[in-house]
Each structure stands twice: as structure tokens, then as C-alpha cells.
Amino acid sequence: MTKIGIPHMETDNKNKPITDIQEGYPRRRFLLIVGWVGFFFFSLLAGLLTIVDFFKPKVLFGPSSKFKAGYPDEYPAGKVSTRWMKDKGVWVIRTDHGIYAFLAICRHLGCIPTWVEEERLFKCPCHGSNYNLEGDVVGGPAPSPLFRVAISYAPDGQLVIDKSVKEDRVGVREKGQFFLPV
Amino acid sequence: MDKAALGPIHYIWFAVVGTALAVAIVVLCIKEYAREWKHHQAIAKRLQIKAVEEKIKTLESELPSVKEEMKAKYEERLRMTRMIRAQVMASPVKIQQIQIDSLKKVDRCTTCHTGIEDVDMKDQENPYKGHPGKYLQWHDIEKFGCTICHEGQGLSTDYMHAAHMPLRGLDRPWQKAVLSKYLIQSSCGKCHLDKEVPFAPLLSKGRDVIEKAGCSGCHKVRLYENQERVGPSLDLLGSKVNRAWLLRWLSNPREYDPQEGLIRPRMPKFSLSKDQILALEAFLMASGNETVLKEPAEGGDPEAGALLFRETRCVTCHLVEGKGGYLAPELSGITSKVSKKWLYSWIKDTHYFQPRTKMPQFNFSEKQMSDLVEYMWEEFQGEEFEIPKEFEDISGNGKDAGEMVNQGKKIFMEYGCTGCHAKTGIEQGRIAPDIIGLGSRDEERLEWGKAQGVDKYIGNWVFARLKDPDLLEKKAKMPHFPLTEEEMAAATMALLSDTGGDIPSQYVVSAPNQENYPDLPGEFGKIVDKYRCRSCHVVYGKGSWVSMHPLDGEGSEVRKEWLRAYFSLPYSLRPILKERMVSLKMSDSEVDLLVNFFTSVMVNNSIPGDEGTFTEEEVAGGKILFDKYGCISCHIMGKGGGYVGPPLTTVGDRLTAGWIFAYMKNPRYYEPWSIQPDYGFSEEETRALTAYLASCKEMKKNIRVSQGK
Amino acid sequence: MQERIDEEKPKEAASEIPKKPEKLLAFPHLVFKEFIALMLVSLVLIIISMVLNAPLEEIATPTKTPNPAKAPWYFVGLQEMLVYFDPWIAGVMIPILIIIGLMAIPFVDKNLKGVGIYCFRERKFAFVIFTIGIVAWFGLIIFGCYFRGPSWLLYLPWESWDIHKPVISKGTYILPLFVGLPAMIGYYILGMWLPILFARNFYKTLGSTSYFITMFFILSMFGFLGKIPLRFVFDIKYIIHTPWFSI
Amino acid sequence: MIKGLKRFTEWLVHTQIWSSIFRQGWPDTERNRILTILNTCLFHLHPLKVRTHGLKVKYTFCLGGVSLFLFIVETITGVLLMFYYRPTVEYAYQDMKDLEFAVTFGLFLRNMHRWAAHGMVLTVILHMCRVFYTGSYKPPREYNWCIGVSLLVLTLLLSFTGYLLPWDQLAFWAVTVGTNMAKATPLMGAEGPFHILSEMSDMCFYLRGSVDISENTLLRFYVLHCIALPLAAVGLMGIHFWRVRKDGGISGPL
């Protein structure tokens, strides 16, 4: 048996093992194990559920990340629409082939760039990052291109833009849910 | 000692309780995770996928047989449908909610009603059903949510707590349960504050009933705060009716005209004792003044009168033996009510007796008037009433006349007669409680009186109040209104739609406030007042919708010559309508003034005034279009045609080319209620049709009529 | 006081109780039992919480009072007292007196017998008075919870709350001051004086200070409880009524 | 395998980390059991040895311990509930509904908080009765009895302040009536006998933070319920338990 403790206590018969719950009482031992297993199962499960599930919000308040953005005909080809900039922070761009949308957040430090029609560039006021119509950086300190967001059709034929799904990798961002051929 | 030290019993307890705890947490998890809405979402997902897959299958099977030029379009559709399928399959199981900050609402109804916006799910059962009708197209679900119309507890995620069941009392999970389809229209009235609410016929009917029954005379009712009194002034009643009639009328108005519903008369039945009626009668008859009545000239010609009666189209407003218009009183049996002298004086000087009546002051000649009175006296002869016996028995009860009159005045005020009838010298406010915000009253605080057995729902309370006021309150002052049950139900619904003004202004759809349109000034105003144009037409925003034709842009719409002829001798454009323009017998100078005013002032600036010139080809092209679109099925042209729209045989005489063009281009811009289909004509097509219609003239006849005058 | 314990211990307790009380190790005998109790309470709580939902009524509306508006059960006794007394007594004085009275118990109870055992025989008086207080308190709670309905009127538990009941005790009579004031003073003086006369021993053991404090609280308790029958039987609203306060 | 497990435990309890936390060995010898009680923070509230009659369930019915345990349950569930509750008029009620409908175990935790609160009031009162009937308030335990009464008052106050937080009708009106009583305090209340303070400065005003129940009241009650009163209760409990040991442990026949 272990011998850790205050030295002067180790003198008398108190070191003798007590066998009330050990050998010689198999039934007590069994009951003890059953009780402890039940208790630990209960407390571990309760703790786990609390951390994993209770703390995870099931509903979020605030503006929805998904919104309906009207019908595709409402966006003329070759134009950048700033229609949803103020409310949702999204540019919708229609080319001859299809529609895609940019999240209006500069990849440098999170400022909001503006669309300059004359230069056909998105220009960030904070540190002068410029992006072209593809979203690629053409000037300034920004490390990566603008995020594109998921765009799809609602059952009624309107566009649905989901800002929570975003992509900036070349090759991925031009297809699938980030580009809607028209 | 044995109880103090640990014994076997403690170990058993420990094992049992430990196991029980483990079981309890498992049960708790099952209870917590097996939520109703998860089950519904799973089923809804299956249904949605099934519907989409069927679509994909049909598209795939049709694809090989599709023509080459359509192929690309088909493939695109297929691709889109597949994308939708992927979206549905990937949608996570989670609580859905619609958050509307301006309404301070969070609705989680779509957690179970997942397919509510899905057109393909319309035939499914609840809660998987798609919303019927086009209501969600008109009301974006993200902007309106669900409970603003349907009520119930939007935050809830299970059936019971969403208050689908109308539980009352302490068991109710939410104050307002989900409205059944019979009551849902009351929600429309929360935001739609105009009298006619589209696609809510019951609500519109209810609002009509509220207005006609004159609820606002005694109660303050939303939308009707400034409504005029619905009954006639009683100032000269003593000279108008006889005692016997009045006694019978006060005892039971329905006896005089036992028709069902709010047609006529509107007078409700008050629970008055015989003594009270006698006193009231004494008070009302005391207003008699024989000197204001004039005797008609001798020798009136009943036959000429009959002709005049028909020509002026009195039945547009008046009932004759239950047939005719509902704006004015029944005329048959009129002799038992009024004297000949009064009838004559009334026609001669209508607005002296009732300054606010809807009846125009007809411009009859002396002869015409005596003819008319003579005719009516013969034609509408009714039985002569005698004073009912029970009144004769107590009429001599020893009270002197002055006392009776005073007592009658008290009753007159106590029962709120002033709510509907004006009487000079008696002014008092509304005598009954406000019913503003009636829909949000708490059921538990209402007095249910004898109606203990009924479901304690506010709607039942209002209905019971209308059906039998005595049921809820002993000695209720509220009279019995002559309403049918449907009318009562509709009125109840309309009253419940006022839930207390918590609707943000951007949601409110309201009718223009008629208070902003005062009586018209000047000579024109005088004529409008004399002929009471606003009893039937809307003139500068104010008026009644008996005619669905506001007069504001009339000058741009019709030709001057036609207008002149029409004023002199009106005829009906649509023969199937019951309400027709009455013949007012205006003087020439009045007609001139009106025609000039219409054509110079009452014009719509968006319609060009000039007649325009059209080529023969255009006229011919218009004719072809006219035939192609089957206009003749609704309009008369020449010999044949339908009766739904106005006849077009001489439309060129009537309408200006500018108006025809503008109207054909966009029918519902000028008349939103028009049933004329919008064919979406191109500029050229519209021009051609205009040219054709403008060429349909027969001016000679009209000119002759106007010259003959 | 410590001295007295030392004095008494050898005299009285020695014969009955062993000098060295038997003891057991706290571990495991106490700790294990405590743990079982803890688990048992958790289990009961979990089961109750699964089965019974905590009440949540409609959102607070300052313009609409629910009927009846009942306090949480532990305050229903006070709410019931509000029927019989003005708020300053029922809501302020009674709670304060109860708290002070409870705190005063160890200081006025000079009887040192019956420690550590449930013992009625040796401390009859304390036992009876405390039991009367507790039973009255829970009695008021039960009465308020189950026998009061809308408008705080008397309803039997099985009676429907829909019926409009006439008010039985209207509280119409106010005793005039020349009757009420002497009655009240008389109640306290007699209450304090009579035991001195007839139970001198009791007075002597307590000492005068403790005696008067004890009697004040006991008389007040019976006085508060005594007004309930006064209201129900004689329909008396106030015993003392002055422009400044009423009892 | 069992052998391996045994060897693992053997190794584990000999590591420096283990022995730095647990000073004593496995409590299967009397010595180690004594050390467990002495060394363990949680257990040191207990005496080493307990009188046998005090160990009987029928003597204490575990009422004091259960009260403490319910207080701990209240603390844990209360802290969890605080994650989803905002004490404002606008959100309080909605958050209640969210707890019910949209938070996993939200309703369960709220139920538990509520029923444990009721249970705690009951056990504290019953504990007081037990202490009275066993004469355990007698010298030298008078002071601890008073602490106990204060703890009863604190328990009631905790329940009362918590009652307002759901912001439903039940809460609002119970608290309206409850705080209105403060108005009737003699001298210090605006409507009590001999009142000297106005409605804007009396006890009730201090309690509510406004004339009527309002946002201020809600925040006040929230802070009292979650911070001030629990802290006071914990402090008094510390003294209470300390005094139980110092005044001779669990009472027993002398």
C-alpha cells in the first residue's frame, strides 16, 4: 500500500487495511461499482451535454445572412449593382455569362471599399487596396482577393444570396454555388 | 449503532440511486432531443425531395423529345432543379425563425411549416402544406412573418404552445390562439384600414355593416370616429309623421318593414316600456310646426307624375315594395306615415327639412311637383294606422303634457338617440363605452352575464352583444339591431380587427381621410351641394362609391358635347346596372356652368387634350384588333355584343381619343377596380384601337337632343 | 452561561449519558451517507423538473392585474395576514417581529434540558409555543393557497372560481378608541400579569427581562392570530383606529 | 488486462502530480481515511469523528446538508441560465420563451432552478424546526441559531428577487404587491404611519429604483439575485458551518 502522509501518524495500527468494502465483501463491492458507474455516467453526460449542446445557440438574432435579391433580369449585364450595398454589404455583378456577388469587405483590414464606376475598380478608402471586377487585387496592400458569396435561385425564381458561404480561391470561386450562369 | 454505521442498506441505496441517475439522464436526453419539429422537418424534407425528384424525372424523360432550339432552355431548367434538390438535401435540421424588428416579433412557425413558401407543396397536409393563394407573394414572409395575420405564439416550437388550439383561461399558452379560417380575415383589418379590403369579403362586409348600422353614433369605433349621423334629423318630425305611426315605429321598427338584414330600416329596436314610448312620442311630436308645410296645387296629373317618377329614376335610391335602391326609404305605404302636404313640401324644399340628406334638390317645376305628389299619393297608398289600443289605455294617465315632453327628452338623451338623429338644442357625446382596440380586450375581464356556457372568446362576446344585448348585461341600453347572423358575424370580425394600434406605420394601408376634403366652394360647389353629387360620386376625394366613377378627371375623359347632352337627359351606360344616374332637371345655366367647369378644371393632366389625327389604315387595323381580341363578348358594338362593359357603338361621341388611348394602354392605372383585361398592347396597337373606337360616332342624334331642349 | 453548563453536566446528565459518547469516523460513515443524500436529492429534482414545468404566464402588463394575484407560497401567509391588518403591520411589523422573535429564542430560553434529542417532556412550554407558531404559519399558507380565489375571496378547493361570490367578511366595524385602546392595553397587561400571579415558578426561572420579552412575543403572536376570528365572527376591521395608524 | 490496469493505477498514484494533489493514499486504511478528511478541502468541514447518534438519518434528516446542496444546484443552474438571459424589459420575457423553446435543456434548467428554489425554502424552514425540536440552539449555539435565522431570511429574499426576473404577470404582480409593502413602513415609507418621506425617496423607491416597477427594478433585482444576496449567503454559510464545528459539532445529548 502507498506510504504517503504525515510521518508521525504512521506509528500505530491505523495503517492496517480496513476490509469493509474490499475483499470479503463482494456484494458491497459490486454495489459500490454499480453506484459509481451510474453516478459518473450521469455526471459526465450531463457535463458534456451542457458544454457541447447547451452553450451552442440554436437561434441567432440579427439580420439573416441569406436574402432574396430580386430576379436576374433586374441586373443589366456588364454592370456592378450597388443595390444591396447599404443594407446587406454585397455587390451583385452580372457578366455576359452569369451572375456572382462580392462580399463588400476589404481583405486587408476589413474596411468597406467603394465601387468606382469610372475606373471600374473597387477601391478601399483605408489603405488604398484596389480590386478589379474579378475581385483580384490590382493595387495596395491587400493579401487576398475579395470573397465571393453563394448565390442561387429560390423556388420562385428570385436570386438568393447567402453571405455565410464565401470563397476566394481561383478555380473554385468561378463555379458551383458562387457563380450562377444565366 | 447499527443505523449509524454504514450497513448493507446504504450500499444498496447507493447502487440504486446511482443507476436511477443514469437512467434519468438518458430519459431526459430522449425527451429533450425527440422534439416534435425535428420529426416534422424530416417528413417535410422527404416530401420536398420527392416533389423535386418527380420534376427532374419528367424533365429527363422529356429531354430527348424536345426540339433542338428548346434544348438549351430545358437543360438549364434541369440544372436548376437539380440544384434545388441539392439545396433541400443539404438543408440542416434546425429551428427556423423570422425576425421582424419593426413588429417586435420572432416567428418560428417555419420550423414546422417548412414548405410554406414552396409552391409544389400546396397539396400536402399541414404542417407541410404550402401557403394557399398568393398571400405570401403580396406579403413577403421575411417582412411580415406569420403571427401578424394568424396570431398564436410565434416563439414556440411545438404544437400546443404555438396555441393552435383555442384554449382559454389559465391553461392558455398564449393570449391569442391561432385564428381559424373563419376568423382570419379580421387580421387583414389590422393593417388594411380602407373600407374595401381586397380578398377579404367578410371584413369588407363587416365594415360596411358597421358604417350602415351607425355603431359610431354611440361608440367610438376605429375608422368611423368622424362618421356623420346615420339617421335623419328629428327637428321637424312632428310635422312629418302622425302619432299612430310614430308609436308603432318606436315600439318595433321591424313591424313596419320586416325585411331581414340591414337593408331598411336601420332603426334598431330599443327595449322601452309603454310609458317610455309615450313620453318619447310626446317629446318628438312636440316639434311639429304646421306653418312650414305648404299645400300642393290642385289638379295634379297622376299619369304625368308616373312618367316623371320613372324618368327621374327615383328607384335608384328608393325602395318600392322591396325593390330598388337601398339608399333611401321605402315608398310604398308612405301615406300611412306622412301627410300629402308634407310630401309636397319635402320635394319642393328638400334641404330645408333635412339639411344633410343625401337626396338632391330636384329642379322640378310647380306643375311637375303636384303631378308627382298626386301620383305618389295614389300609387303608394298604405293602410291608415290607428293608435294601438294599449297606448290609448294609458295615454290619459294624468300627467300633463309638459311633464311628458320633459320625460321624453330625458329618455331621448339617455338612450343615445342623439347618436343617430340630430335634434336642435340637444348635444351630447357618445353615450356608450369606446370600443377602440376591442380585439385585444382580455376575455377574462369581460362581463359574460347569462352567457356562461359559451366559449369565452372575445368574438363570441361581441357576437352575443349584437345578437342579444340582454344576454350579457341586465337592462342593457344597447338596442337590438336588425342584422342577419352573417352580418353580425361580419361586423364582429371587422370590430375585432382593431387590436389597439400597435402596427407600425409602414405596414398600414389606409384610405385617404375624407376630412381633408371640405365642401367645395363657389358656384360649382353650390351645384354639387344642391344636387348632392357626392351622395353617389366621389368629387375631389370625397363622396360615396354608389357610382364607381370618380368625377375628378371626367373633363379629360368625355367630350364636351356629350357631357352637355348627358346632363340634360342622362341615360344609362350599362343597362344591367340598377343604380342609374338620376335626371335632375337642371336648368340650362347650371348645365353650362357644370360643362365648362368639367372640361376646364376637372381634367387629368396626364391625358392629352387634343383629339389627335388618325389615318384610315390605323382605323382599319384597330377594327382587326377589335375582332381579334373578342371585345364584342363584353361590349355592344352595332347590333350585337355583351352586356358586361359599356356599349361602344357611339363611343367616339362619348370619350376623348386621349382617354381611350391612355385607358387601353393601362386600364387599371385610372380605374384600379376595372375588370377590363390588360392585354399589354404595344404603342401601335393602342393607337390603332384608339383610332377605330374614336371613329365610332353617331353625333347627330345627340346633337338633336341637345338642340331640342 | 458556560459555567452553568459545567455545573449541570455532572449532576443530571452523567447518570443517563455515557461520558465518552460513541463516535465513528466521518469517512466513510458520514461522507458516504451525505453522498447518497446528495444523489437522491438530485434524482428527485431531475424527475420533478422533467415532469413539472415552472409556471410562466403572459408577459407583464402594468395595466392589468391578474385575479387572483397570489404571492409565491412562502409569502402567502403574509398575504393572508394583509386581509386582517394594514400593510404596515402585516407587511412590515409581523415579519420583523417574527425574525427578532426567532433570534431571541436562545437568549430567553433558560431551560437547558433536551439538547440533542427530540424531547417533549422536558421542554413542554417551548415545544408547544413554537409548534403553535409553525402550524399557524403553514396553516395560513395552506389557507391562502387553497381556500382563496379571485378577489381573495373564500373558495373551497373544489369550488369553481367562475361564480361571483358575495363578500362574507366586509370588515365593517371599527371599535371606538375608548373601547379598543383599553382592550389592547388590558390584553398585554393581563397577559403579562396573570402568569406572574399563577405561575410564579415560570417567572422566577426566566428572570424579569427574559420573562417580559418572552411574554411580549407570545402575546403578540396570539394577538395577531386572534384577530382572524374577530374578523370572521364579529366583522371587526380595526381594534384601534386613529388618524395616524390603525391596528 | 486487470493486472495492467492495476499497474497503471499504481504508477499513477506514485507520480509527483498525483501525490501533489492527493496527500494521502487510497482511503482503505483508517489512517488514510483520517487524512482524507483532514487534507481534502471539501471534506475538512467535517469533524474527524462524528457522534453515532448524529449519524442517524432520523436525527437530522440531512436537512442542513440538503439546503447547502440545493444552494449549489441553484448556483450552477443559475449561472447557466444567465448565459441566455438579459435583464431588460424588452428581452427578459422573450429570453424566457427562448429558454423554453430554443435552448437545449433550457426549460429543464429553468424548472430545476425554480423547484430547487422552492425546495430550498422548505428545507431551510424544516432545518430550523429540526434544530429547535432537538434543542440545538441552546448555549453555546445561540449565535449560530441567529446566523441560521439570517440565512432563512436571505433564502426568502433570494427567492423573492428571483421571482421578478421572468417578467411575466405572476412575477410582476407578486413583486408589485411585495414591494408596495415597503411603502407602508412606519416612518420610512411614503404611505406608512408617521411617514416623513415622499414617494420619491422612501424605502420602496430605493427598492424599486423608480416609483413603479420598471427596467430599474428589474436590473436591481437581477444584481441582488445574482450577486449581492448569494455572496452574503455564502459568507453567512461559511460562518454557520465554522460555528457548527467550533460550538461542539453536531448537537447531541450532553
Provide ipTM, 2 decimals: 0.85
Whether B689 has a pLDDT exceeding 70, the answer reads yes
pLDDT of res. B586: 86
Summarize pLDDT for B181-215 with one digit per residue, the tens.
888 999 999 999 888 888 889 999 999 899 888 88
pLDDT of res. C224: 93
CA of B681 vs chain A CAs: smallest distance (Å): 22
Summarize pLDDT for B359-396 with one digit per residue, the tens.
899 888 888 888 999 899 888 888 877 787 777 766 65
In this complex, the residue of A31, A32, A152 whose CB is nearest that of residue B83 is A152
Residue of A nearest to B81 (CA): A155
- Structural domains of chain B, with CATH: 36-178 (no CATH), 196-227+433-507 (2.60.40.420), 237-419 (1.10.760.10), 516-599 (1.10.760.10), 616-708 (1.10.760.10)
Whether B706 has a pLDDT exceeding 50, the answer reads no
C-alpha cell belonging to residue C107: 437568549
Give chain A's largest Cα–Cα span.
97
Work out the percent of chain B whose per-residue pLDDT is above 90: 13
Summarize pLDDT for B484-522 with one digit per residue, the tens.
888 899 999 999 998 887 788 888 887 666 666 777 878
Size of interface B-D (CB pairs under 8 A): 36
Report the sign of the C-alpha dihedral through residues B73, B76, B82, B88, in that order.
negative
Whether B414 has a pLDDT exceeding 80, the answer reads yes
Q: Which of D127, D136, D130, D135 is nearest to D244 (CA)?
A: D136
- Segment (H or E) for A99: strand A98-103
Quick check: B4 contacting C, CB < 8 Å?
yes
* B318-to-B256, B334, B571 alpha-carbon distances in Å: 16, 12, 18
Give the domain ranges of chain A. 7-54, 66-181
CA of B156 vs chain D CAs: smallest distance (Å): 6
* Binary contact (B106, A39; C-beta < 8 A): no
- Structural domains of chain D, with CATH: 1-49 (no CATH), 50-244 (1.20.810.10)
Interface probe for D, chosen from C8, C64, C76, C115 (most Cβ of D below 10 Å), is C115
Cis-peptide, bond into residue B355, ω within 30° of zero: no
* Binary contact (B18, A42; C-beta < 8 A): yes
In this complex, the residue of D101, D105, D108 whose CB is nearest that of residue B108 is D101
pLDDT of res. B578: 67
The pLDDT-based confidence of A18 (bands split at 50, 70, 90) is: low
C-alpha cell belonging to residue C128: 408547544
CA of A130 vs chain D CAs: smallest distance (Å): 42
pLDDT: is B570 or B421 the higher one?
B421
Whether A9 has a pLDDT exceeding 50, the answer reads no
Summarize pLDDT for A25-83 with one digit per residue, the tens.
788 888 989 999 999 999 999 999 988 999 999 888 877 788 888 888 888 888 898 88
pLDDT of res. D155: 97
Q: What pTM was estimated for this model as a whole?
A: 0.81
Q: Are C180 and C115 in contact (CB under 8 A)?
A: no
CATH 3.30.420.40: does it fit domain A66-181? Answer: no
Rounded to 5 degrees, φ, ψ at B598 are -60, -50
Low-confidence ranges of chain C (pLDDT < 70): 1-21, 162-164, 167-171
Work out the percent of chain B whose per-residue pLDDT is above 70: 93
* Binary contact (C22, D52; C-beta < 8 A): yes
- Segment (H or E) for A122: strand A121-123
Burial of B519 (0-12, 13-18, 19+ CB in 10 A): exposed
Summarize pLDDT for B292-340 with one digit per residue, the tens.
788 887 778 888 889 888 888 888 888 888 777 777 888 888 888 888 8
Q: Are A125 and A113 in contact (CB under 8 A)?
A: yes
pLDDT of res. C1: 35
* Binary contact (A56, D104; C-beta < 8 A): yes
pLDDT of res. B167: 79
Whether B256 has a pLDDT exceeding 90, the answer reads no
Q: How many helices (H) and strands (E) does chain B have?
A: 31, 9
Burial of B137 (0-12, 13-18, 19+ CB in 10 A): exposed
d(CA B284, CA B286): 5
* Binary contact (B32, D105; C-beta < 8 A): yes
Interface probe for D, chosen from B32, B99, B100 (most Cβ of D below 10 Å), is B32
Low-confidence ranges of chain D (pLDDT < 70): 254
Burial of A83 (0-12, 13-18, 19+ CB in 10 A): middle
* Binary contact (B18, A62; C-beta < 8 A): no
pLDDT of res. C3: 38
Summarize pLDDT for B55-108 with one digit per residue, the tens.
899 988 888 888 888 888 888 788 878 878 888 888 888 898 999 888 888 999
